[in-house]
Amino acid sequence: MVSLVPSLTEAIAETLPDVLVGATDWCTHPAGLDVTRVGGTKNPAVDRVLALAPDLVVANEEENRAPDLDALRTAGVEVLVTEVRNVPQAFRELARMLAACGARGRPRWLDEAEQAWSAPVPEPFATAVVPVWRRPWMVLGRDTFAGDVLARLGVRNLFGDHPERYPRIPVAELLDAAPELVVLPDEPYRFTGADGPEAFPGLPCALLSGRHLTWYGPSLAEAPRVLGGVLRAAHR
């Protein structure tokens, strides 16, 4: 099978290491994954996918484009599309996807991840803005997986009720929102200590692992510890 989503690639490779024949150029985990690369998530080489003759292609409704998935279906390939907008949904979709890939029962990492996120959603300890791109500035809005992850770690997204899921908000408006914390993940835009915090002078900035914030796969098991520690340390 072929995976067009980095987090699903990691989930499949950890659970069924022999079934993957293709993945995107952005599928970086697990390290050393030896499969045919089929391009990006937004621009996969459909002909390269078809040449692999997969029994199944796994995709995501947000990360992959409908025309590419339609082209695969038209060519006779079965495509499983996941939809993940929150943490509980991630667990359901991962179990569904892995079963479709041939897994016999739930892998241990999935049980460990679900246990790691089993605590009730806490009262927020900080309000935040969460840029995911700059030039132009874009932030997390409503109904996003990463926004739900942050809420479950005690961080309230100030744009979580915005009509758009990824609104373009000028940095002046982000500052006017008076966040207590600025959350800067390293993907999809690679924010770093030298690229991002300077736009928010005087505000604490939490530089987060995008894999732990936005991926739904084995990284979910350690995400509460990894992300929670950075968020609280930045807010002090």
DSSP 179-229: -SEEEEESSSS--BTTBSGGGSTTS-EEEE-HHHHH--SGGGGTHHHHHHH
Contact 212, 227 (CB under 8 A): yes
User: Of 227, 62, 226, nearest to 130 (Cα)?
Assistant: 227
Together in a domain, 144 and 70: no
CATH code for the domain in which residue 179 is found: 3.40.50.1980
What value does the mean pLDDT of the chain take?
97
Question: Cα separation of 139 and 153, whole Å?
Answer: 18
Q: Quick: pLDDT tens for 193-217.
A: 999 999 999 999 999 999 999 999 9
Question: Cα separation of 131 and 188, whole Å?
Answer: 10
Q: What is the pLDDT of residue 236?
A: 81
Mean predicted confidence (pLDDT) in 106-123: 96
Domain count, the chain: 2
Boundary of a domain, candidates 68, 85, 116 = 116
Query: Domain span at residue 164?
Result: 126-235
Q: Quick: pLDDT tens for 9-56.
A: 999 999 998 999 999 999 999 999 999 999 999 999 999 999 999 999
Together in a domain, 53 and 155: no
Residue 97 lies in a domain: yes
Residue 121 lies in a domain: no
Peptide bond into 179 cis (omega under 30): no
Contacts of 80 (CB under 8 A, 6+ apart): 56, 57, 58, 59, 96, 97, 100
In this structure, is the dihedral angle defined by the CA atoms of residues 90, 93, 99 and 102, taken in order, positive or negative?
Answer: negative
